[in-house]
Structure 1
Amino acid sequence: LNAKPDGYTIAQFPMGMLRIPHMQKTQWHPLNDFSFILGVSGYTFGFVVKADSPYKSFNEYVDAARKTPGEIDYGSTGNGTSPHLLLEELSGNAKVQFNHIPFKGNADLMQALIGGHVKAASDASGWDKFVDGGQMRLLVTFGDKRTKRWPQVPTAKELGYNVVGNSPYGLVGPKGMDPAVMKTLHDAFKKAMDDPKHVELLDQLNQDAWYRTGEEYATWARETFAKDKQLIERLGLAAK
């Protein structure tokens, strides 16, 4: 924030930067205090149950929750995280109520699911080894399209829930950067993004490229900031 806007200081801009100001007071504003250079990548989010769960599909899980509102639980990696907000957005669209149980992180969440302490879990792909090892069943993913690694698993979008989320991140610099400097950085990082080694690494991490120009990235940030504000307020997580 205090660096010179000369292009020598840049940072990764995670999704949380657009949510934290809604949930607590900050000394910065995500839309006004940064220069958006380009979007880079996003994560794979999915919803899993134990392999012996009675829910064979995501629709079965939703139907069970609809019959007993607020009783069918799921865990996430914490209040206000992408895995939490994705399910809450979906529940609002589907007019169904889940019982959300927040955990401190992926390790605690996976342990609770394996131990039978929660019925399901919403998380980024920290469940991948459990799914591939047959201990968990992946019911749905939340990307715009099916994943390369689990192509048999439907997306929430194609099931009709109108929810897409990959918690993308990109690169930003201090506000007030020279457009020519931003273009130089954009072009260099875009070339690196297209490098086969980077593409291979993203595949290993269950991530897809999420390329956006600086203008497209800034527009997406504005729209997401406004949308998440409404959801966070509805859930009672907004700063007082």
Structure 2
Amino acid sequence: MTTHAFTRRTLLAAAGLSLAAPAVLRAQTYPSRPIELYVGFAPGGGTDITARTFAKFLETELGGSVLVVNKPGASGEIALAQVARAEPDGHTLGITNMPGFVTIPIERKAQYRLDDFHLVANLVADSSAFSVAPDSPIRTVEDLVKAAKARPGQITFGSTGVGTDDHLALVLFEDATGTKLNHIAFRGAGPLATALVGKHVDVAGLNVGEAVPQGANLRIVAQAGATRSRFAPGVPTFRELEIGIEMGSERGLVAPRGLDPRIAERLARAVAKVFETPDFLARIEQQYTEAAYRPGPAWRDGIAAADARFRTLWQSHPWSSS
């Protein structure tokens, strides 16, 4: 080998090392500033509470601050778009909410695509449910069906946004029962629960984990889990009532696409450690929510299956007009 060739190769190798060094340093010092965790709904709802609980434990594992940022609107699209546009340096994360995460790009020209994100992990699951005011004349699902058929389009149903799990539960309910309700979208579960208590809506689509803490302020008439919830064992499932609805909210953690593999690995390990923490699991249970940890690759398979399922539903029941 000539001296010239050796020198050139040495210089190229040194250049490669100098380019790699900043990336290695960024991964070693991550997080180097507060992490922003975006939530697409108003404070006080299930997604917001999950995010705030998770953020505290993630801080411990990563050794840095995690700040929850609420950007409500468009069924969560505004917050997700903010994450999709952010630098993929691990300092901007987002909480997704199924099925809205996959249904928004199906129903409209969205500000993000599913492949704009690095999927970190799914965190929790929470079944959809229909609730009414304590003194509502609607005491059962049968009462709701009768009232809706007697007054088509007049019974009001509040959801946390078009394409959310509670809205799609309504779409499936209307199809299964031959009814039509008046759908009203809210900016989050907190405002929706307030509207139900104030009798501004007849029925609210709140998750079990959002409805149970309301105590005597509301009454759950049915929930859309595969089985009865241990948090509301006296509430029947729609399937028990021979109405074929199964729907719920899954909340996961995403980062912008292109996340440095070293940072991605550190973040994944931190999330896994959170789910090994008894105190965190106890907090989730206190929120009447089921821990449903699935690391990125396994969660990706579930997202793909859900995307296919909801695209099929869209073809037969386009819900944006519901």
2 CA distance for matches of 1:26 and 1:75?
23
Q: Which residue of the partner structure matches residue 164 of structure 1?
A: 246
With 18-27 and 47-56 compared, the bigger mean Cα shift is at 18-27
Counterpart code for 2:119: F
2 CA distance for matches of 1:227 and 1:220?
11
Tell me, yes or no, if structure 1 residue 55 matches structure 2 residue 138.
Answer: yes
- Pick the aligned partner of 2:302 from 220, 228, 231: 220
Deviation of 1:27 after TM superposition, in Å, equals: 4.9
CA deviation vs aligned residue, 1:97-124 (integer Å, no higher than 9, x gap) = 2222333444543344334343221123
- Pick the aligned partner of 2:101 from 2, 6, 17: 17
CA contact (8 A) 1:89 1:231 kept: no
Mapping for residues 91-106 of structure 1, pairs under 5 Å: 91-106=174-189
Tell me, yes or no, if structure 1 residue 145 matches structure 2 residue 227.
Answer: yes
- Pick the aligned partner of 1:29 from 103, 113, 118: 113
Tell me, yes or no, if structure 1 residue 87 matches structure 2 residue 166.
Answer: no
Counterparts in 2 of 1:183 and 1:144: CA distance versus 1, 3 Å: farther
Counterpart code for 2:233: P
- Pick the aligned partner of 2:283 from 191, 194, 201: 201
Counterparts in 2 of 1:205 and 1:232: CA distance versus 1, 3 Å: farther
2 CA distance for matches of 1:14 and 1:221?
11
Counterpart code for 1:168: E
Deviation of 1:73 after TM superposition, in Å, equals: 2.8
2 CA distance for matches of 1:41 and 1:74?
25
2 CA distance for matches of 1:98 and 1:146?
25
Structure 2 portions without partners, runs of 5+: 1-83
The TM-score, its normalising length taken from structure 2, stands at: 0.61
CA contact (8 A) 1:80 1:232 kept: no
Structure 1 portions without partners, runs of 5+: none
Percent identity, aligned pairs only, is 29
1 CA distance for matches of 2:190 and 2:112?
31
C-alpha root-mean-square deviation of aligned residues, in Å? 3.1
Tell me, yes or no, if structure 1 residue 210 matches structure 2 residue 280.
Answer: no
Counterpart code for 2:307: F
Counterpart code for 1:12: G
Deviation of 1:153 after TM superposition, in Å, equals: 0.8
Counterparts in 2 of 1:4 and 1:122: CA distance versus 1, 3 Å: closer
Tell me, yes or no, if structure 1 residue 128 matches structure 2 residue 232.
Answer: no
Secondary structure in 2 matching 1:43? strand
Counterparts in 2 of 1:142 and 1:81: CA distance versus 1, 3 Å: same
Decide which structure has greater helix share: 2
CA contact (8 A) 2:212 2:231 kept: no
Tell me, yes or no, if structure 1 residue 45 matches structure 2 residue 128.
Answer: yes
2 CA distance for matches of 1:104 and 1:192?
29
Q: How many pairs were matched up?
A: 233
Q: Which residue of the partner structure matches residue 118 of structure 1?
A: 201
With 64-73 and 151-160 compared, the bigger mean Cα shift is at 64-73
Higher RCO, 1 vs 2 (CA within 8 Å, ≥6 residues apart): 1
CA contact (8 A) 1:12 1:169 kept: no
Counterpart code for 2:227: K
CA contact (8 A) 1:72 1:119 kept: yes
Secondary structure in 2 matching 1:83? helix
Deviation of 1:67 after TM superposition, in Å, equals: 4.7
Which protein is bigger by CA-based radius of gyration? 2
CA deviation vs aligned residue, 1:23-57 (integer Å, no higher than 9, x gap) = 44345311x22232322112343211122222222
CA deviation vs aligned residue, 1:114-145 (integer Å, no higher than 9, x gap) = 34343221123444344x23x32111122333
